[in-house]
Structure 1
Amino acid sequence: MKLRYFALLIFLLSAITTNSQDFSKMKVKDLYENLCMSCHTSGAVGGSLVNRTWKQGSSDAEILKSIKNGYPQQGMVAFGSVISDAQLQALVVYIRELESQEVKKNITEVEPNRIIKTQQESFKVEVLTTGLKTPWGLTFLPDGRKLITERLGPLRIINTDNTLDPTPVKGTPEVIFDRPEGGMMDIALHPDYKKNGWIYLAFADGWRDENGKSWSQTAIVRGRIKDHTWIDQEWIYKADKKFYMKSGAHYGSRIAFYKGYIYFAIGERGSMGQAQDLSRPNGKIFRLYDDGRVPKDNPFIGDPNIPGGIWSYGHRNPQGLVVDKKHRLWATEHGARGGDEFNIIHKGRNYGWPVITHGINYNGQPITSITEKEGMEQPVLHWTPSIAPCGLTLYDGRKFPNWKNDFFTGSLRAEELHRLRVKNNKVINEEIILKGLGRIRDVRTGPDGYIYLLTNDPGRLLRLVNKKN
């Protein structure tokens, strides 16, 4: 067996030395096929890389070390002198993608109204409302009705019997939607809604120029609804026109409230470097008073070149935002190809994009060679490969006692619902409890204690109920 390993090692070293191909220009799939597949397919000398059985450690860092330094005595070639550190990191991402594909072959897609058993609870999925057109955000009115945003607008009302009111809310802000993103996005009630009636909307604001090209930026307004009409509108956040962009990507937009403050997210709009540029709103999470004023204790309030509402920066595209009972702000964030994140958001901190990331570009090329750097925050959890997390709720209802204080996040890419249990700021348990019901755009805990989901493709409102009901 040893002779076989060493013969293979000599062959591979010779092949790498004499190969005329330029590895520096290869995409990750080509790197894997050229450098890994000969030894790491099922039944090959090195064993499969997709069955989660690792000889030298299973963490990302350990896998990267194995690829970079090799284990010559075991026939594993060191590739650190052949490809760059960024390409090494890209190979880790690609291996994780293959591993995930294999694992998901064993996950059963669920159907509505069938009892589903998970680690802590059993439940079924009810289809409440159908016929929605790319629903984005959900909130609950005190009288039992629900408000839902649809990407192209306008605002829709779901009646107490869960039928879709045929009359949309008139007079809501006009939105910009140029694929792939934008339009009408999140919705939230003011914490004192019963007293003041304020409803907050996040949307892509903008205009079209003489050539028909749109210019847009994430904006926040509040207003009230009377007789199916949006009234009393006030601007909470509207960027300077110089920050409006032609890009139709990465608006962020989730809203959360805490003790008189509103938090909301703006994505980096597809311009990576702007997430690190504090003079621009892109790639930032904001904190304002709920009437739009800038708090004097915000982290960058003293610098005239920095928008005063910025609370944190270095974000790619956050689309989940929630405050827990310990007053901590949590966010889920889209990475690129891998590197989706679950973060605790701290005042004034830099979350790294695109200087550090666990992901790679969609075309298979690396983004960076590093996943951590001094002065930049590490995620509590990262998903590689990407699940495209969207919507986030912290369960505080009574219907599922074994899920108390667990987080739930939807998934656009994987069409999954993930449950996260956190202890001492670490995820100690993660479980995929749903798959195959569509792209999960929003996740909310309802006032009745059940968990509600908005899905795209098809556009539906779903509810998770325990099996006793």
Structure 2
Amino acid sequence: MNTSISIDCLKKGAAIAVTLLITSCSFTSASSDSSNASQTASIVAETSASSDSTPAGNQVAVTTQDFQKVTVLEGLEHPWSMAWLPDGNLLITERPGRLRIVRNGTLDPTPISGVPEVFAFKQGGLMDVSVHPRFAENRLIYLTYSDGTRDANRTRIARATFDGQALQNLQVIFEVSQTKFDGQHFGSRIVWLPDNTMLVAIGDGGNPPVELEGDLIRKQAQNLSSHLGKIIRLNDDGSAPQDNPFVNTENAAPVVWSYGHRNIQGLTFDPETGRVWSTEHGARGGDELNWVKAGENYGWPVVTHSREYSGGEITQERSRPGMVDPKVVWTPATAPSGLAIYTGDRFASWKGDLFAGGLVSRDVRRIELDESGNVVTQEPIDIGQRVRDVRQGPDGLLYILTDEPDGQLIRFEPVSG
């Protein structure tokens, strides 16, 4: 099914507002935060350096890039992530706990065996899948998933060898240090760095009234001894690299790479600039695009543009010395999930742009950056479904997964002529 897109139509997006349900980082009503509230979603985002800054990057981009949306696959149950193998076959996770493979454009009806048992509840389940950079040599793939029960669960990372049909020799190489209650904020995106270490996003554990050790669990994002609310950096065997920023810091977890995060659902590495980018869910508004750097504090929940689901401010602080301001703040929330940097040649005018999926906004935001990493413009591309993942394929095209009971794999293709 092909749907041609006129980019000129998208320029009207800055004036459009639609009423949508805020679902934080969850899927459908069964996985949404218990105190979700309806808000009006705006196409225009605030770019904020401080609480009283003038928004920048809030123009809708104008591009000459014509493209079409092609539905490649249907019938996926809440797909979460995708990763290509060197032979061109595509792995896709389904949140209930299945790993699927697409061979020569056809979805194999039989799921891959050997997947670990997952805690599939609310936002939890089988989440990211990632292929080792040296897969051709070691056949290793990596999975993130939620493990445990409603009363005590955590994010785990496992690796296994893949023989083309099944996972073998599955090994849990990392698990979050503390268990938590309920089914919120698992994080779980994986990104590989050029040195073959990997960054993994870990959520803060959940919204009020969820507590840990007698205080709101979200405060763990500022606790360097905890994995919650962090990006961690691991060697491919799950150990902590010795050049991690807090290896020699007393009472700090050696795997911590950055902290002060709420729930990162989009994470990508730009091989041209060496920058790491993330998209992070706020609560009621305050979703963020961040340029993430080793050792930095991104503020949550001390500094945020979010508000409580129940109403009122989480904090009056929007910026603080020693904490990094977001490049973009989306209020009302888009619920960003899935993030890609475009490095291919099939879309000439998109090279170097970020593409951020939105669960609530049901679109993909093309984000143009300048050479310094500042946001210049944004362009909403309507999908009409909850967007869970965005990836660039080995063919240089962009692929989208939609988080629906009958989820789709959608491809953006250039329009010839």
For this structure pair, what is the TM-score category when the shorter chain's length is used for normalisation?
0.7 to 0.9
CA distance in structure 2 between the partners assigned to 1:120 and 1:410 by the alignment: 21
User: Which residue number in structure 1 is paired with residue 175 of structure 2?
Assistant: 238
CA distance in structure 1 between the partners assigned to 2:243 and 2:397 by the alignment: 37
User: Which residue number in structure 2 is paired with residue 292 of structure 1?
Assistant: 238
Report the alpha carbon displacement of residue 118 of structure 1 after superposing the two structures with TM.
6.0
Q: Secondary structure at the match of 1:425?
A: coil
Q: Secondary structure at the match of 1:131?
A: strand
Among 308, 312, 332, the alignment partner of 1:361 is 308
2:140 is the counterpart of 1:198: yes
Report the alpha carbon displacement of residue 227 of structure 1 after superposing the two structures with TM.
5.1
Contact 1:178 1:214 (8 Å CA) reproduced: no
User: Which residue number in structure 2 is paired with residue 216 of structure 1?
Assistant: 153
User: Which residue number in structure 1 is paired with residue 117 of structure 2?
Assistant: 174
| Overall identity of the aligned pairs, in % | 42
CA distance in structure 1 between the partners assigned to 2:415 and 2:70 by the alignment: 11
CA displacement 1:110-150 (0-9 Å, x = unmatched)? xxxxxxx9623111100011000000000112222210000
Report the alpha carbon displacement of residue 234 of structure 1 after superposing the two structures with TM.
2.6
Higher strand share: 2
CA distance in structure 2 between the partners assigned to 1:143 and 1:436 by the alignment: 29
Contact 1:120 1:403 (8 Å CA) reproduced: no
Higher helix share: 1
Q: Secondary structure at the match of 2:52?
A: helix
Of structures 1 and 2, the larger Rg is shown by: 1
2:319 is the counterpart of 1:372: yes
Letter in 2 for 1:285: I
CA displacement 1:374-429 (0-9 Å, x = unmatched)? 11110111111111111111101111011011110100011010011111121011
CA distance in structure 1 between the partners assigned to 2:253 and 2:176 by the alignment: 9
Alignment of 1:93-132 (within 5 A): 119-132=63-76
Q: Secondary structure at the match of 2:107?
A: coil
Contact 1:415 1:436 (8 Å CA) reproduced: yes
Among 329, 332, 338, the alignment partner of 2:279 is 332
User: Which residue number in structure 1 is paired with residue 204 of structure 2?
Assistant: 268
CA distance in structure 2 between the partners assigned to 1:220 and 1:303 by the alignment: 24
CA distance in structure 2 between the partners assigned to 1:426 and 1:269 by the alignment: 30
CA distance in structure 2 between the partners assigned to 1:239 and 1:333 by the alignment: 19
Report the alpha carbon displacement of residue 367 of structure 1 after superposing the two structures with TM.
0.9
User: Which residue number in structure 2 is paired with residue 459 of structure 1?
Assistant: 407
Report the alpha carbon displacement of residue 326 of structure 1 after superposing the two structures with TM.
2.1
Letter in 1 for 2:67: F
State the 4+ residue runs in structure 1 displaced beyond 3 angstroms: none
TM-score, structure 2 normalization: 0.81
Report the alpha carbon displacement of residue 293 of structure 1 after superposing the two structures with TM.
1.8
Contact 2:91 2:101 (8 Å CA) reproduced: yes
User: Which residue number in structure 2 is paired with residue 442 of structure 1?
Assistant: 389
Letter in 1 for 2:166: T
User: Which residue number in structure 2 is paired with residue 137 of structure 1?
Assistant: 81
Contact 2:114 2:170 (8 Å CA) reproduced: no
2:94 is the counterpart of 1:146: no
Structure 1 stretches of 5 or more lacking a match? 1-28, 30-49, 53-58, 64-91, 93-99, 108-116
Instruction: Give the CA RMSD over aligned residues.
Output: 2.4
Alignment of 1:407-418 (within 5 A): 407-418=354-365
TM-score, structure 1 normalization: 0.72
Report the alpha carbon displacement of residue 328 of structure 1 after superposing the two structures with TM.
1.8
Question: Number of paired residues?
Answer: 356
CA distance in structure 2 between the partners assigned to 1:273 and 1:245 by the alignment: 13
Structure with higher RCO (Cα < 8 A, 6+ apart): 2
User: Which residue number in structure 1 is paired with residue 342 of structure 2?
Assistant: 395
User: Which residue number in structure 1 is paired with residue 20 of structure 2?
Assistant: none
CA distance in structure 2 between the partners assigned to 1:311 and 1:254 by the alignment: 14
Contact 2:176 2:228 (8 Å CA) reproduced: no
CA distance in structure 2 between the partners assigned to 1:447 and 1:272 by the alignment: 38
